[in-house]
Amino acid sequence: MELDSIGDWRRTHYSVDVKPEMDGREVTLFGWVQEIRDLGAIRFVILQDREGTVQIIVLRKKASSKVLSKSDALQKRYSIGVRGVVKKTTITPRGIEVIPNEIRIFSAAESSLPIDITGKTPANLEVRLDARALDLCREDNISIFKIQHTAVGAIRGFLFERGFLEVHTPRMIASATEGGAELFSVDYFGRKAFLAQSPQLYKEQLVMSLERVFEIGPFFRAEESHTRRHLSEFVSIDIEQAFADADGVMQLLEQLMQHICRVANEKCPKELATLKYSIKVPEIPFKRLTYDEVLSDLKREGVEVPWGEDIPTPALRTLGKIHPYFYYITDWPTSSRAFYIQPRRDNPDLCEGFDLMWRWVELVSGGTRIAFRELLMKRLREKGLNPESFKYHLQAFDYGMPPHAGWAIGLERLTMMLTGKKNIREVTLYPRDKFRLTP
RNA sequence: GCCCUGGUAGUAUAGUCCGGUCUAGUAUAUGCGGCUGUCGCCCGCAGGACCCGGGUCCAAAUCCCGGCCAGGGCGCCA
């Protein structure tokens, strides 16, 4: 089959922008064949683009021989252009269809597709991820990533307005001793380097110059995790703010969450309808539960967690049933948190770290940070870390480190919240986990 | 890493417990034919599968062992 070039054609409209008022006007549409329903003397071709679909109608007796032969050749997923006349009609759900004057075929496709792109016979996630480029053409996937995009836009707007500067810190780092998560190692001109697990230390250093910073970018964890909510590569939305404490950044965070939900509802009603999901805009302030309150809540439900330990997943599920929406967990035992979280001055066994939970999922983690070198070194040693490997970071504390606080949102987990998807791989374009490195 | 469950046409599933009319059923997709208003179009025909290796048995998709892979859970997780 001979393929056409785009020539001087330019798109005049997306599918969804073709309206009944345009009756009789000529439009140029680009996209892909989603479906063909051939009734013999009449053929319906569904043209899909990023924004939706439009029906192209070809009448065997009326169409030109050129249009007829082009439309005979069409198959699913062919990339095509259609120049035709808008026809207002009462027969189609959209109230319009397009009668082609000319069809251009830019690219063909295999006749048998690895997954059903209309969604009639849904494929398993594994099969879909193996054919991800094609899978992402499905309307519900497009909806997921439009919602994610909208959320990121809302976050940027919100933080810009409040004086946060967007920054970019290194992904390749020298020290493997930040503690906690395992790091991926890489060869750096013959030296051993690591992929960053978080921008934590850099964003803290930046508060002494830029005061309020945020960063949106990928980070890496070489953990053995095999769950629906962990990835080896994920996107973190990190902020750090000078002259603030946990309480201040928690207020900021709950306002932001409310804002994201509002904007997503406002800008993505069609996408949410496609996903058959609705977002409830939360009221603020969010519930604030202390660690001790959580433990006694759990005890009442018959779940015992020894004081000082992190809360195990099954206990979090129970907690999520008691508190089915957003809530904070505050006043964690100092020993259970990262070394840079500020212990409470009135009771150093507790700290000013917090988690923002959504049901049973940890959505955001943050806290007041330690701003004093001596205390930070003490905490490093208590965590079994070597202050020597933090000398460049500790140096910053000699030059006027202000009191500061911050948090980090997991973007994919946020997207799960906004779309109702239960597996983090669904809301990741090309997920990376312990078992998957391709595509 | 551990535990549980599973692996059947391109896709999704039935069959597996209790081995034998399973010559492996169905839907969808694909190919061919038909059809003037479909929108999960419809109708007819066709081709297409038991994860790999070993074992038990007269007989294995079905039972046993090993491997690989997947899903869920747990653990790990600034």
Domain parsing of chain A, residue ranges? 15-107, 139-427
Rounded distance, CA A322 to CA A300, Å?
11
pLDDT of A262 above 90: yes
User: What confidence score (pLDDT) does residue A177 get?
Assistant: 56
Q: Examine domains A15-107 and A139-427 and report if their fold is the same.
A: no
Q: What is the secondary structure of A289-356 as a DSSP string?
A: EEHHHHHHHHHHTT----TTSPPPHHHHHHHHHHS-SEEEEE--BGGGS-TTBPBPSS-TTBBSEEEE
Tell me what the mean pLDDT of segment A24-46 comes to: 95
As a whole number of angstroms, the distance between CA A400 and CA A397 comes to 6
Using C1' positions and the CA of A178, the closest nucleotide is B78
Give A127 CA → B51 C1' in Å: 15
CA of A232 to C1' of B76 (A): 13
Give per-residue pLDDT as tens, A355-369.
999 999 999 999 999
For residue A225, what pLDDT is reported? 87
Enumerate the nucleotides of strand B whose atoms come under 7 Å of any protein CB: 1-2, 10-13, 27-31, 34-42, 69-78
Q: Which residue is nearest to nucleotide B73 (CA to C1')?
A: A227
Please tell me the least confidently modeled range out of A135-144, A246-255, A381-390: A381-390
Mean pLDDT across chain A: 94
Which nucleotide comes closest to A408 if you measure CA to C1'? B78
Q: Quick one: pLDDT band at residue A384, thresholds 50, 70, 90?
A: confident
pLDDT digits (tens, 9 = 90+) for A138-192: 999 999 999 999 999 999 999 999 999 999 999 999 876 566 678 898 999 999 8
Among the residue ranges A73-77, A177-181, A249-253, A389-393, the one predicted with the least confidence is A177-181
Q: Per CA to C1' distance, which residue is closest to B31? A: A111
* pLDDT at residue A10 tops 90: yes
Which pLDDT value is given to residue A176? 60
Partners of A369 in the beta sheet? A341
Say which CATH superfamily domain A15-107 falls into: Nucleic acid-binding proteins (2.40.50.140)
Please, what CATH class does the domain formed by A139-427 belong to?
A: alpha beta
